[in-house]
Amino acid sequence: MTIYLVGTSHIAKESLVKVKRAIDEKQPNCVCVELDSTRYYALKNKQKKSMHVKLPIMQRMIFSLMKRMQDKLSRETNIFAGQEMLDAIKLAKKNKIPYYYIDQDISITVNRLMAKMSFFSKCKFLFYLLIGFIGIPVPGMGAPKELDLNKVPEADFIESAMLELKKQFPDIYTVLVLERNEFMALKIKELGEKYENIVAVVGAGHAKGIGKILEKELD
């Protein structure tokens, strides 16, 4: 069995190239994407309506700011956030390759996150989002590095960002990174029992963690 992980940035033009190259060159008999069905249909329809309208006000503010920041960055690259996932599915359909959503249901992730975050952590995260949105350097995070948003960040930058997230917001890191890495890795492992050649398109922040879990599980 061969598993090829494609680490992407959801707003980078390079991600679209990486996805197409991987599917064209690896010729998989299964394509996996870091989506659940809800997020897929939201992306496909470029859904503007919020999926968290029933959340308490602070949570709504957090998700609204996260969405605004993502939209702001998307406008800079002119790439709809998550376009590489849609491209992967489109290519799979074109080549008659089965494709699968491997991410945890978004409602479970959101509920887990809100339950795990303390009130202080929510306030701190909201503060970081606010000052980040208006372009003020975040206290304790050091000087921001210049990034080419059209490219997938280098491995050392991703590693540094993950370590900083774990340090500043361990609860967010656990739910959004560790738990989802585990979920997606096990989904890929299950699919590996049926398919011999798999291409899995995941965010660059997940690729290394998923790879380590798969190495351990398949050893």
What would the DSSP string read from start to end of the chain?
-EEEEEEE-TT-HHHHHHHHHHHHHH--SEEEES--HHHHHHHHTT--S-S-TTS-HHHHHHHHHHHHHHHHHHHHHT--TTHHHHHHHHHHHHTT--EEE-SPPHHHHHHHHHHHS-HHHHHHHHHHHHHHHTTPPPTTS-SPPP--TTSPPPHHHHHHHHHHHHHH-HHHIIIIIIIHHHHHHHHHHHHHTT-SEEEEEEEHHHHHHHHHHHHHHH-
34-91 tens-digit pLDDT: 999 999 998 888 754 445 446 677 777 887 778 887 888 888 888 888 999 999 999 9
Lowest mean pLDDT among 20-24, 79-83, 140-144: 140-144
Predicted pLDDT at 85: 96
Count CB atoms within 10 A of the CB of residue 212: 12
Cβ atoms of 204 and 153 within 8 Å: the answer is yes
Would the pTM of this model clear 0.75, i.e. be above it? Answer: yes
Residue 67 carries which side chain, given as an amino acid letter? K
- Band of pLDDT at residue 1, cut at 50, 70 and 90: confident
* Residues 219, 211: Cα–Cα separation, whole Å: 12
